[in-house]
Structure 1
């Protein structure tokens, strides 16, 4: 069942070759700082190699974000699509699914968009900074139980087990549970106090582009929603897959977003997991502020449309292409792609 207001869109051709004009990458948002008072160390670069004295005092870059882009020879949209990942993850979420299917990067390239995939501050190829010298605390590492029972909603409380045969996913779950370990390989450490650095880097990326469509997942949602407030003249749409947070309408004026359509997309089992029971109302409050301000905002609850079994990992569930088609329809209905 189509979860958009129209079913006139033609899905992207998922087989035809792509004509690409450019593939590249860059970093954005970083700044130079000086480190002092740190203890000298020694390093061996390779087994049996020479010993190098290392002075960690001096200038380093912090707060940088990595951005990979693929630009088409003949894009069907005038606006690049920016894919922003969630907490404890990186841009690899968008590239290939854990069960080996093409991810949303390829789907939306085939749909006619130039696609920019980011590794946010502290993630993946964005690199780290020293802690506690720059980052104030040690990082968090996601456990399988947290992912399975809480954040990604693969199964109810007490359903995780290290032995795959003893794991008990939700009935009808669309996440490919046989590939859980492959998904866990994508987990990266995250720090709890870098929101300002991360927001600055995302805002810096938006400032480099004439216009953008921002598509976010989970923790990335709050950054995307705030970026639209910071640069309403440069963002033409915001698409939020299960954002874990949103701006506070008591402190942010949703009226500046008139003319920027917003889509909020939600999967299944939300009411069974306390993290999401506590998170969704805060996002709903921002959505209602948007609609009250006259913003074109749509809230799609997939189970209400008969699409059941989706986890928090909408872009890698076994119906991920169908979910991407819903997003594509929504964009095409708003004339963001031909």
Structure 2
């Protein structure tokens, strides 16, 4: 793997000086033979050695790692803002997403990409939606054919029809990445959350902290033909103990890995997901997970929807996450092996 060094400058409205970057890319592999699954990973880091926490950013369902790099109006996303703050950042494309190739024999059938109506419902609710009035974090047009809406919709793509297969592949990918680069903070968005739950449960020694931004939920959610969150927050086994075909909602699971991982759930005020996230937090706490619920409006940041990671004011939401990480993440002296 060859690293490229280049200067990057902050957006014009920011006064920070230029930051020298190192950047590169590589692949991680899971499975073998006919089930071998390659996943693409891009990384960026400050040009000098840093003691800041390494961060892995896991995108949501039907999206790709570009969700973290740039907002719909071209401002720097969470990834470059984290690098500017001194953090090495890894950006995987989840299996069969982005630059990670689709292999029918591995990924199975795909669900069609989100329609324009789906994108609007999730990220830019129109005037007839009760979330619309308070959703000031999306200040751009909300209809197809307008630049910011089309830029967001263009990044959507198909994803595996089987929820369980997708979660298994996502979790395997993230574990393989962490085993390569060493301990890191994992930040997930939306349907990328199961990868984080699985990785922290399997390899808590490699997850310095876990932040789930508006995670897929509520627990045991039924997604129709795609399957169900049969194990609470995932569609694949997560419990320490032997299971039947699924977890019993009446009995908290044993989650020893997650229970040793500092965890936060981040919720926006205008996404309509507050009750779902409350249920996810309650489920995790019942299993002994030390999860903190960061409700942005309670912390002085309001007007955000489900796409809070790339809306206007996304840097204020990131500042809340970074403050929480500074107080809670487990720091390690292990180097980031992928930076070469």
Q: How does 1:1-16 map to 2 (within 5 A)?
A: 15-16=16-17
The match for 1:125 among 92, 95, 99 is 99
* Partners of 1:202 and 1:270 in 2: CA distance: 27
- Match of residue 285 from structure 1: 282
- Match of residue 45 from structure 1: none
**8 Å Cα contact 1:155/1:170 also seen in 2:** no
- Match of residue 114 from structure 1: 88
* Partners of 1:270 and 1:187 in 2: CA distance: 19
- Match of residue 27 from structure 1: 27
SS of residue in 1 equivalent to 2:102: coil
Greater shift, 191-200 or 278-287, is seen at 278-287
* Partners of 1:277 and 1:111 in 2: CA distance: 29
CA offsets 1:213-235 (integer angstroms, 9 cap, x no match): 10110011121022100001111
CA offsets 1:134-154 (integer angstroms, 9 cap, x no match): 4432432101211212x33x2
CA offsets 1:113-159 (integer angstroms, 9 cap, x no match): 110011010011111113xx44432432101211212x33x226965
**8 Å Cα contact 1:81/1:114 also seen in 2:** yes
* Partners of 2:325 and 2:275 in 1: CA distance: 29
The match for 1:215 among 171, 183, 187 is 187
Aligned length: 280
Question: Given the alignment of the two structures, is residue 202 of structure 1 paired with residue 174 of structure 2, yes or no?
Answer: yes
**8 Å Cα contact 2:209/2:328 also seen in 1:** no
- Match of residue 94 from structure 1: 68
Q: How does 1:177-192 map to 2 (within 5 A)?
A: 177-178=140-141, 179-192=148-161
**8 Å Cα contact 2:28/2:39 also seen in 1:** yes
SS of residue in 2 equivalent to 1:177: coil
**8 Å Cα contact 1:140/1:191 also seen in 2:** no
* Partners of 1:111 and 1:135 in 2: CA distance: 36
RMSD, aligned CA:
2.8
**8 Å Cα contact 2:267/2:277 also seen in 1:** no
Which protein, 1 or 2, shows the higher relative CO under an 8 Å CA cutoff with sep ≥ 6?
Answer: 1
Question: Given the alignment of the two structures, is residue 74 of structure 1 paired with residue 68 of structure 2, yes or no?
Answer: no
Following TM superposition, the consecutive aligned residue runs of length 4 or more in structure 1 with deviations greater than 6 angstroms are: none
**8 Å Cα contact 1:62/1:128 also seen in 2:** no
* Partners of 1:203 and 1:16 in 2: CA distance: 35
* Partners of 1:105 and 1:14 in 2: CA distance: 18
- What are structure 1's unaligned runs of at least 5 residues? 1-12, 35-60, 160-167
Normalising by structure 1, what TM-score? 0.74
**8 Å Cα contact 2:40/2:99 also seen in 1:** yes
* Partners of 2:160 and 2:329 in 1: CA distance: 38
TM-aligned CA distance change 1:284 to 1:333, over 3 Å: closer
TM-aligned CA distance change 1:281 to 1:324, over 3 Å: closer
**8 Å Cα contact 1:84/1:91 also seen in 2:** yes
SS of residue in 2 equivalent to 1:244: coil
* Partners of 1:63 and 1:263 in 2: CA distance: 30
TM-aligned CA distance change 1:252 to 1:66, over 3 Å: farther
Question: Given the alignment of the two structures, is residue 155 of structure 1 paired with residue 118 of structure 2, yes or no?
Answer: no
* Partners of 1:186 and 1:235 in 2: CA distance: 28
TM-aligned CA distance change 1:169 to 1:257, over 3 Å: closer
- What are structure 2's unaligned runs of at least 5 residues? 1-13, 142-147, 218-232, 235-246, 332-340
- Match of residue 301 from structure 1: 295
Residue 172 of structure 1 deviates from its aligned partner by 4.0
Who wins on radius of gyration, i.e. which is larger? 1
Greater shift, 208-217 or 135-144, is seen at 135-144
* Partners of 1:32 and 1:334 in 2: CA distance: 37
